[in-house]
Amino acid sequence: MLEKYYIFALLALFAEIIGTVSGFGSSILFVPVASLFFDFKTVLGITAVFHVFSNVSKITLFRKGINKEIALKLGIPAVIFVMIGAWMTTFVPTKSMELAMNIMLVGLSLYLLFNFNKTLKQTDSNLYLGGIMSGLLAGLVGTGGAIRGITLAAFQLPKEIFIATSALIDLGVDSSRAVVYVSNGYFDKQYIVLIPFLIVISILGSYIGKVILQYTSETVFRYIVLSIVILTSIFQTVKYFMN
């Protein structure tokens, strides 16, 4: 059991570093990784709790500025719809959600891989729509960071402001869905032992990601990230059908 947690912690640290550097957040990689060790609803609970610590770390490390206007216009719809998505998990079949998550991750990653330099128009309607979609997906299948990243990219924010703004929005999203997941028993008491590790991983991963950003091309690294996500999601989909 301890060996399982050590491997999980190492992979979670890797996901947090990648999530910080890519600007999408760690959930796009953390969710498939965690599903190798836990059942899907437990993954949702652990992801939400982990991301609360992760986002606080990013806000602290990238505190040069937050675009409050964008944070509100994107964040409020995201918080509302993440609670709707989280509530839907109580009656939508788990296996269906797991398959939907893997297919969605492959689709999102392929889209981002081949449309890397394309951005949305800088409109309030795109902010609201991005908030709705990212929130709903985060609540339902555990990850909506890629949608939020696409939306924020349209506004060409400086690197530090991009990450801090995204983290603030994500903090509201994850805090909201964590309440729903925990109240429905998705985060069992036996996993409380993971919390100290999750806190350390979130701080260390965010810090290492910040250091890497200072010396590495974001474009090249994000291509690597998306390739990893595609391979991980395909593996999970194949495993689903083999089971």
User: Tens digits of per-residue pLDDT, 111-133?
Assistant: 766 766 666 678 888 899 989 98
**Cβ-proximal residues to 10 (8 Å cutoff; 6+ apart), any chain:** none
pLDDT computed for residue 171 by the predictor: 87
Cα angle value 20/21/24 (rounded, 5°): 60
- For all residues of the chain together, what is the average pLDDT? 81
Instruction: Say whether pTM exceeds 0.85.
Output: no
pLDDT computed for residue 222 by the predictor: 65
Per cent of the chain over pLDDT 70 is 87
- Residue 80 scores a pLDDT above 90: yes
Kindly state the average pLDDT of the residues 126-150: 82
- Residue 226 scores a pLDDT above 80: no
Please state which of the ranges 197-206, 209-218, 228-237 shows the lowest mean pLDDT.
Answer: 228-237
- Residue 82 scores a pLDDT above 70: yes
106 pLDDT band, cuts 50/70/90, is: confident
- Residue 22 scores a pLDDT above 80: no
Kindly state the average pLDDT of the residues 45-72: 86
Under 8 Å between Cβ of 39 and 234: no
- More confident of the two residues 78 and 226: 78
- Residue 225 scores a pLDDT above 70: no
Per cent of the chain over pLDDT 90 is 11
Kindly state the average pLDDT of the residues 192-201: 88
pLDDT computed for residue 201 by the predictor: 92
**Cβ-proximal residues to 177 (8 Å cutoff; 6+ apart), any chain:** 44, 48, 82, 83, 85, 86, 138, 139
- Residue 10 scores a pLDDT above 80: yes
Short-list 120, 127, 118, 148, CA closest to 51: 148
Tokens of 58: 């990013």
Instruction: Provide the terminal-to-terminal Cα distance of the chain, rounded to the nearest Å.
Output: 22
